[in-house]
Amino acid sequence: MEKTKKQGFFRSVKNSIFSFDSYQDFALEETKKGIGYFFKLLILFSIIIAIVFSALQVLVTIPEFKNFITSDLPNFSYKDGQLSVENNEVVTIDRLADNILIIVDTNELSDEKIEEYKEKINLYDVGLVVLKDKIYLKNSYSTVGIQEIPLQEISSMYGAEEFTKQDIIDQINNVNMISLFVSLTVVVFLGFFVTYLIISVLDIIILVLLSNIIATILRIRMKLSALINISIHSMTLPIILLIIYAIIFLTTGFEIKYFDIMYRGISYVYVITAIYLIRSALIKQKMELTAIVEKQKEVKEELEEDKKEKEEENKEKEEEKKSKDEEDKKEDVGKEANGEV
């Protein structure tokens, strides 16, 4: 197989998805080119996710949070590590559709009451109990269970020793949304890029091992660089599907069960198909080469036969010429004997 012309990034993306024949070309490329393609794909993925996530935070989450504080919470104030709510009102916000429960109670509570609140939030994906001096946070996406966080620790983290409800609203109003969007995009981009880089490297290692096993079963020898390049390009469609799924999940909350299995299954199908087609191409090339050798052999035999025929013709001509010369010579001798010369 000869090396093909250099392909641009987006053409490589297209060929990785729609053209299995292109995997023969990818297998012939240098490893550094495949790794470069991989990093470009990850950067594109991380940028898109970071932009969508940051835009949602700036355009949806922050306004919702502001509206939540303004409309759903009574007046409150924080000072000397203690939170107080106007009229000691107990606030319960149950968002069943989002599986979120928030309870705010700054009264003096017994241990039994606190345990009751913790049991309630434990039934939700996200739960928050705000007391006068601490909060209890439950997040089903975390493996640490219900966390207890002192309010003083949170206030010192943000450098606010005291504040009121209106102070928080004013701070939200004074936020530069463009600056927040840019800074949040950078932070989210770096977080997604590093995280997904680690995950993808592990996936590529598994794909390389799988492709090596398939190549061994099909009895074809392939360089490590070829296996790496095929594995990298086989992840193109799964990564694009992951981008689409992530956007849908962030905007609608729609979740697809076993998506990670489907995600990896697609790359396995691409690897197996690509190696099988490469094997078929090698067999075809071998057959074509055999046909060429046979044809060359036939042509050689024909040339040898033609050469042999020409040699025989030349030999016959020489013999005829020799016979004619002898006859002429005899004729001359007869003339001399008759005195004709």
Specify whether 165 is located in the same domain as 225: no
50: confidence class by pLDDT, cuts 50, 70, 90: very high
Task: Kindly state whether residue 336 falls inside one of the protein's structural domains.
Answer: no
Specify whether 31 is located in the same domain as 120: no
Specify whether 160 is located in the same domain as 247: no
Task: Kindly state whether residue 305 falls inside one of the protein's structural domains.
Answer: no
Report the side by side order of strands in the sheet with 91-95. 91-95, 100-104, 126-130, 134-139, 146-150
Domain count, the chain: 2
Q: Are strands 126-130 and 100-104 parallel, antiparallel or unpaired?
A: parallel
Task: Kindly state whether residue 90 falls inside one of the protein's structural domains.
Answer: yes
Specify whether 197 is located in the same domain as 233: yes
Q: What is the pLDDT of residue 241?
A: 93
Q: Does 301 have pLDDT greater than 90?
A: no
Task: Kindly state whether residue 102 falls inside one of the protein's structural domains.
Answer: yes
Residues 138 and 127: their CA atoms lie apart, in Å, by: 5
Task: Kindly state whether residue 265 falls inside one of the protein's structural domains.
Answer: yes
Specify whether 194 is located in the same domain as 166: no
Specify whether 140 is located in the same domain as 106: yes
65: confidence class by pLDDT, cuts 50, 70, 90: confident
Task: Kindly state whether residue 332 falls inside one of the protein's structural domains.
Answer: no
Q: Which domain holds residue 139?
A: 54-178
3: confidence class by pLDDT, cuts 50, 70, 90: very low
Query: Tokens for 50?
Result: 């970071």
Residues 101 and 329: their CA atoms lie apart, in Å, by: 130
Specify whether 102 is located in the same domain as 163: yes
Task: Kindly state whether residue 144 falls inside one of the protein's structural domains.
Answer: yes
Last residue of a domain, which of 123, 153, 178?
178
Query: Tokens for 136?
Result: 């209890």
In tens, the pLDDT along 234-245 reads 999 999 999 999
Specify whether 171 is located in the same domain as 60: yes
Last residue of a domain, which of 253, 287, 321?
287
Specify whether 21 is located in the same domain as 69: no
Last residue of a domain, which of 147, 178, 209?
178
253-261 long-range Cβ contacts below 8 angstroms, 24+ apart:
253/98
Task: Kindly state whether residue 307 falls inside one of the protein's structural domains.
Answer: no
Specify whether 170 is located in the same domain as 188: no
Specify whether 84 is located in the same domain as 113: yes
In tens, the pLDDT along 140-189 reads 766 667 888 888 887 777 677 788 888 888 888 888 889 989 999 999 99
pTM of the full structure? 0.69
Specify whether 161 is located in the same domain as 108: yes
Q: Tell me if 93 sits within 8 A of 72, measured CB to CB.
A: yes
